Structure 1
Amino acid sequence: MIKIIPLFGFVAILFSFTLFAQTQNGAIEGTIEDAEGRAVPGVIITASSPSLIGRTTTTYTDRTGYYRFPTLSSGSYSVQAELAGFQTMIRKDVRLFVGTTLTVSFTLEIIKVKEEVEVTEKPPLIDVSTTAVAFTIPPKVVENLPRVERIQDLIALTPGVSDDFGGKPIDNLVAYGAIGEVANSYWIDGVNVSSPRRGDLTMSYSQNWIDQVHVTGIGAPAEYGGFTGVVANFVTRSGGPQFHGLFDTFFQNQNLTWTNVPDPGPKTPFKTYDLNAQLGGPVLRDKLWFFSGLEYPNTQTPTPGTDQLTTDIYRKLITKLTYKWDNNNTLQGFGIWDSHSFERTGSTPTATPEANYAKNENPQWNWNATWISLLSPQTSFEVRLSGFNDHSRDIENNPDLSPHYDSGTGIGSVNSWSRLERKESRLQLNAVLSHHARNFIHGSHDFRFGVEFERSLFFYNYQYNGNYRYTDYFGAPQSRAYGGNYIIEDTNHRVSSYAEDEWSVTDRFKLSLGVRWDDNRGYAVEKGLVFKNDPVAPRIGFIWVLDKENQTVIKAHYG
Structure 2
Amino acid sequence: LTSAGFAQGRQTGSISGTVVDTEGNPLPGCTVTLSGPKLIGTKSYVTSDAGRFRFPALAPGRGYELRVELPGFKTTIRKELIVSVARATTITVELEMTTLEEEVTVVAASPVVDIETSKVSVSYTSDFIASIPMSRDLYGIQNSIPGAISTGNDYRRTSSILGGTVRSQLYQLDGVPMNDPATFYPMANINVDVYEEIEFGIGSLPAEVGQADSVVVNIVTKSGGNKFSGNVSAYYTGDALVNDLISAEDMEAIGVNPPKVYTDYKDAL
Q: TM-score, length-normalised on structure 1? A: 0.42
Cα distance change on mapping 1:114 and 1:195 into 2, 3 Å: same
| 1:67 and 2:53 aligned | yes
1:162 corresponds, among 148, 156, 173, to: 148
Instruction: Determine the structure 2 residue equivalent to 1:203.
Output: 188
Deviation at 1:148, TM superposition (A): 2.1
Q: Deviations over 1:178-220 (max 9, x none)?
A: 123x211111111111111121212132121212101112110
Deviation at 1:258, TM superposition (A): 2.6
Q: How does 1:145-156 map to 2 (within 5 A)?
A: 145-146=132-133, 148=135, 150-156=137-143
Instruction: Determine the structure 1 residue equivalent to 2:223.
Output: 238
Deviation at 1:109, TM superposition (A): 1.1
Cα distance change on mapping 1:119 and 1:270 into 2, 3 Å: closer
Cα distance change on mapping 1:247 and 1:233 into 2, 3 Å: same
2:90 corresponds, among 103, 112, 126, to: 103
Quick one: distance in 2 between partners of 1:61 and 1:153?
A: 44
Cα distance change on mapping 1:243 and 1:171 into 2, 3 Å: closer
Cα distance change on mapping 1:260 and 1:177 into 2, 3 Å: closer
Instruction: Determine the structure 1 residue equivalent to 2:31.
Output: 44
Quick one: distance in 2 between partners of 1:231 and 1:36?
A: 43
| 1:220 and 2:214 aligned | no
Quick one: distance in 2 between partners of 1:87 and 1:256?
A: 58
Deviation at 1:253, TM superposition (A): 7.6
Deviation at 1:147, TM superposition (A): 5.5
| 1:19 and 2:3 aligned | yes
Quick one: distance in 2 between partners of 1:130 and 1:98?
A: 13
Deviation at 1:53, TM superposition (A): 1.0
Instruction: Determine the structure 1 residue equivalent to 2:234.
Output: 249
Matched residue count: 257
Deviation at 1:254, TM superposition (A): 8.4
| 1:88 and 2:59 aligned | no
Deviation at 1:112, TM superposition (A): 4.6
The CA RMSD measured in Å over matched residues stands at 2.9
Instruction: Compare the two structures and name the one with the higher helix fraction.
Output: 2
Structure 1: which 5+ residue stretches go unaligned? 1-16, 273-299, 301-310, 312-559
Give the secondary structure class of the aligned counterpart of 1:19.
helix
- Residue 153 of structure 1 aligns to which amino acid in structure 2? G
- Residue 200 of structure 2 aligns to which amino acid in structure 1? V
Deviation at 1:252, TM superposition (A): 4.6
- Residue 91 of structure 1 aligns to which amino acid in structure 2? R
Quick one: distance in 2 between partners of 1:167 and 1:268?
A: 22
- Residue 190 of structure 2 aligns to which amino acid in structure 1? Y
Q: How does 1:101-500 map to 2 (within 5 A)?
A: 101-146=88-133, 148=135, 150-159=137-146, 161-163=147-149, 165=150, 167-169=152-154, 170=156, 173-180=159-166, 182-252=167-237, 257-262=242-247, 263=249, 264=251, 267=258, 271=262
Deviation at 1:137, TM superposition (A): 0.7
- Residue 122 of structure 1 aligns to which amino acid in structure 2? A
Cα distance change on mapping 1:34 and 1:126 into 2, 3 Å: same
Quick one: distance in 1 between partners of 2:73 and 2:259?
A: 74
Q: Which has the larger radius of gyration?
A: 1
Cα distance change on mapping 1:66 and 1:211 into 2, 3 Å: same
Instruction: Determine the structure 2 residue equivalent to 1:35.
Output: 22
- Residue 90 of structure 1 aligns to which amino acid in structure 2? I
Contact persistence 1:26–1:71 (CA under 8 A): yes
Cα distance change on mapping 1:256 and 1:137 into 2, 3 Å: closer
Higher relative contact order (CA 8 A, sep 6+): 2
Identity among equivalent positions (%) equals 28
Quick one: distance in 1 between partners of 2:106 and 2:201?
A: 31
Instruction: Compare the two structures and name the one with the higher strand fraction.
Output: 1
Give the secondary structure class of the aligned counterpart of 2:211.
coil
Contact persistence 1:253–1:270 (CA under 8 A): no
- Residue 56 of structure 2 aligns to which amino acid in structure 1? P
Quick one: distance in 2 between partners of 1:271 and 1:25?
A: 41
Quick one: distance in 1 between partners of 2:244 and 2:61?
A: 46
Quick one: distance in 2 between partners of 1:154 and 1:249?
A: 20
Q: TM-score, length-normalised on structure 2? A: 0.83
Q: Deviations over 1:467-502 (max 9, x none)?
A: xxxxxxxxxxxxxxxxxxxxxxxxxxxxxxxxxxxx
Give the secondary structure class of the aligned counterpart of 1:141.
helix
Quick one: distance in 1 between partners of 2:114 and 2:211?
A: 24
Deviation at 1:222, TM superposition (A): 0.5
Structure 2: which 5+ residue stretches go unaligned? none
- Residue 51 of structure 1 aligns to which amino acid in structure 2? K
Deviation at 1:150, TM superposition (A): 3.2
Cα distance change on mapping 1:268 and 1:42 into 2, 3 Å: same
